[in-house]
Amino acid sequence: MSEFFDNGFYRDPRAGFVSKTRIAAVAVAIGIVFMLYIGHLFSLQVVEGSEYAQRAQEITRRSAAIASRRGEILDRNGKPIATNIDAFTLMLNPADVPRDGFTDLFERLAPILGTTTQRLEQRVPTNIRRQYREIELQVGLDLETITEIAERIDQFPGLSWISRPLRHYPDGPLVSHVAGYLGAITPQELQVLFNHGYGPGSVLGKTGIEREYDGILRGQDGRGVRFVDAFGREVEQPMQSVLPELG
């Protein structure tokens, strides 16, 4: 049986004597910890709730550039020196492909693209096959190829495409010294031009007219915004976009 003594001690036959002051101190400490925990929850839910809600909203938005159509270059008689031809880039979202479906997908797709299954497998290594982020599978495809894929789209899970015109010089090398040529932006160029609307993956004029008037010819890229969940999966909301300005 437990009992209290007048000297302020509590006696438990199994544990000896325990000070009532010590018991009170432990109770106060537990109470303080509990109040701190409640205060932290209040701060997270009420004080900082709007901030975390804003962060969550930003996480669910994913934007990508919409390339503008580069302006044509004409000679003084109005004959095109540099123009554009319609082309498409094929995209793949690996997470939309069944885990055991990549081999079948690549075997069906390779003949259409005029490539090999091995090359497609190299574009989509196993370590990224569960990510919810689109990757470029092949560039420079014509409308006929995209149409063939679209007609059998149920056989190609995870595939989509975007319009990305290619530069074309009708007279070929005859005017190359005047028209110049295009190329991908280098890290050194990006450091200088980053605040002028260029970014990683941008294409710009390297020589000739293409370089001299690049700022006019390139136009202004647009932006497309999609909404995704915490895993990067696209949710059912209308895409928001800012259309590109033609060069």
Q: Is domain 87-164 given the CATH code 3.30.450.20 in the classification?
A: no
Tell me if domain 62-83+168-247 and domain 87-164 are identical in fold. Answer: yes
Distance in angstroms (rounded) separating the CA atoms of residues 214 and 192:
14
Strands 203-205 and 3-4: unpaired
pTM of the model: 0.56
Confidence at residue 6, expressed as pLDDT on a 0 to 100 scale: 47
CA distances from 144 to 115, 150, 157 (A): 16, 10, 19
CA 190 distance to own-chain centroid: 20
Number of other residues whose CB lies within 10 A of the CB of residue 223 = 13
- Residue 177 has φ and ψ, to the nearest 5°, of -70, -20
User: Which residue, among 62, 109, 82, has the nearest Cα to 217 in the 3D structure?
Assistant: 82
**Is the pLDDT score of 58 beyond 80?**
no
- Residue pLDDT, tens place only, 126-165: 887 777 777 888 888 998 999 999 898 888 888 888 888 8
Q: Which stretch of 50-64, 97-111, 123-137 has the lowest confidence by average pLDDT?
A: 50-64
> Which CATH number describes the domain made up of 62-83+168-247?
3.90.1310.10
Residue 204: is it exposed, middle or buried by C-beta count within 10 angstroms (0-12/13-18/19+)? buried
Domain-by-domain residue ranges, the chain? 3-56, 62-83+168-247, 87-164
Between residues 17 and 143, the one the model is more confident about? 143
Give residue-wise pLDDT tens across range 23-41: 666 666 676 777 776 766 6
Query: CB within 8 A of 209, min separation 6: which ones?
Result: 73, 81, 82, 178, 179, 180
